[in-house]
Amino acid sequence: MIGLLTLYHLQPAASISTLGRTILIISAFVLVPSFAGGLNDARAKSHAFVLERTVDLLHQSERIANVGGWEIDPDTMEVYWTQHLFEILERPWDEEPPLDEALEVYHENDRPIIKNAIEAALEDGEPFDVEVRFQTPAGEVRWLRVQGVPKTVGDNVVSLRGAAQDITERKEHEQELQRIQERMEFALNATDAVVWDWNVESNEASFYPSAESLYGTTVKNWEGFIEVIHPEDKERVQQTIEQSLETGEPKHEEIRIVRDGETRWIEAPGHPVEADDGSKRMIGVARDITDRKTYERRLEESNERLEQFAYAASHDLQEPLRMVSSYLQLIESRADDELTEETEEFLEFAIDGADRMRDMIDGLLAYSRVETQGEPFEPVDLDEVVADVRDNLEMRIVESDAEVEVDELPCVLGDENQLRQLFQNLLSNAIEYSGDEPPQVLISAERNSSMWKVSVQDEGIGIEPDHQGQIFEVFQRLHSQNDHKGSGIGLALCERIVERHGGEIWVDSEPGEGSIFSFTLPAV
């Protein structure tokens, strides 16, 4: 019989005496007839090639998984590390310390965790799996997942082997996720909101922090959600959600629920989400808006009472004003030959004052009715609106020799009558405050996201910077009645109309250079 004993090192350039646990012994015994008298060299080379490839594959696998191996000898308490564990810990290869020194690589706050786990494994044979921090020689703190499995013979632990994986990147992601979750919890707690997630395919619903905090009961599926909705709102909610799932458009609902016998209002916007496999779910946020709806109802009732008061006041005030104006005009016509020039002037002042008072009352009434008497919004062609306004103001335009240039204007969503009033007020002001020169007015528009910005620009007398913040207030006048006629309500009415349309209005002006009144309206 002829045999071959071959020793291979897993770590090149290391001596057998220091790496006795990391060498692989391969025995190849070949039975041949005694007359063969030779060794199969080809077979030995084949074994060496396979071993070299296996060792290389092992090293590559360690690097890819960022995992290193280790072993502790219970008798000598010596620690053995694989090549990649040295690299993970950033330690030189010739530094295989005893256990006490090896534990020094771990963060001081986590050292007791790994030490207790190793001691329990060596004494009681208990495997362990812990996540601890370690510190590199450069002082960088990183994370390791360390797993250990004791090898026992009878009741004795003869070896403790395991793996250590660098999980720093994963821990950083977890910590960032934890910070995001904490911020979300803070935001939800601050607003008393609940995040909801409905899986359409499985019909499972989950809520965070809980459904009970909002609905007063556990909600686990679609039927449970529908159950708590007020009977008058159920059909509308079902139709809205079905439409949202079909179109993929977000839905925004204000619904009533019945909680402990009490009707409460819930705001529950939701977004449909479709996964790669085609499955659908809806995710959203719900919060109790009962207090807000209560305030809105009270405000609406207050506005209704205010409108009733304004209407009654305007009616009651206008009737005597008409009588005063009529009798003054009657006196003026009948006693025309007997009136002195001074008396006639006084009568004209009185008649003009009554007319201005009537205009102010009409303006105040229109101001109070913007919200309650407005028409439903529909697409409105602003070119047609401005054309109507120019027709209405044709006499003033001709008399003042005004030049009104109008760029192409868009269609917007709004109340046509109110928009006509808006343009008429702004164009009238542009003509009125033109100064000594003939009025030059430009009306233009530009798209701004979901809104149109419309501008009415003039080259008139302009507005002092200190007064620009006051011009949209009711009865606020910057000039005397003798200089410029007006009720003092026109711009306040413009602001109210624009706000009803969900827009903003502002002015950019330089004294002596003119003004640009700009406002935004929703695009169609």
pTM of model > 0.85: no
Which amino acid is located at 86 in the chain? F
Query: What H or E segment, with its residue span, contains residue 205?
Result: strand 204-208
CATH of 192-288, one of 3.20.20.100, 3.40.50.2000, 3.30.450.20, 3.40.50.1860: 3.30.450.20
Q: Which is it for strands 403-406 and 156-166: parallel, antiparallel or unpaired? A: unpaired
Distance of CA 334 to the CA centre of its chain: 73
Q: Are 50 and 71 in contact (CB under 8 A)?
A: no
* CATH class given for the domain over 378-522: alpha beta
DSSP state of 209: S
Output the tens digit of pLDDT for each of the chain's 524 residues. 334 334 444 444 333 333 334 333 333 333 344 434 444 565 555 666 666 666 566 666 656 667 889 999 999 898 988 888 888 888 887 666 778 888 989 999 999 999 999 999 999 999 999 999 999 998 899 999 999 999 999 889 999 999 999 999 999 999 998 888 777 777 666 667 888 888 888 888 888 777 777 777 777 777 888 888 899 999 998 898 888 888 888 888 899 988 888 899 999 888 888 877 778 888 888 888 999 999 988 988 887 787 777 777 766 777 777 788 787 888 878 776 777 888 888 888 888 777 777 777 777 777 777 877 788 999 999 999 999 999 989 999 999 999 999 999 999 999 999 999 999 999 998 998 887 789 999 999 999 888 999 999 998 888 887 766 778 876 555 544 444 455 568 888 899 999 999 999 999 988 888 899 999 999 98
Where are the domains positioned within the chain? 1-65, 192-288, 294-368, 378-522
C-alpha to C-alpha distance for 415 and 379, rounded to whole angstroms: 8
C-alpha to C-alpha distance for 360 and 378, rounded to whole angstroms: 30
Task: Give the contacts of 513 (CB within 8 A, at least 6 positions apart).
Answer: 459, 462
Long-range CB pairs of 187-196, under 8 A, 24+ apart, other chains included: 191/287, 192/287, 192/288, 193/285, 193/286, 193/287, 194/285, 194/286, 194/287, 195/283, 195/284, 195/285, 196/268, 196/270, 196/283, 196/284, 196/285, 196/286
C-alpha to C-alpha distance for 434 and 437, rounded to whole angstroms: 6
Express the helix, strand and coil content of the chain in percent, nearest 5 each.
45, 30, 30
Tokens representing residue 64 in the block: 């890819």
Give me the helices (H) in 75-138, please. Answer: 83-89, 99-102, 111-124
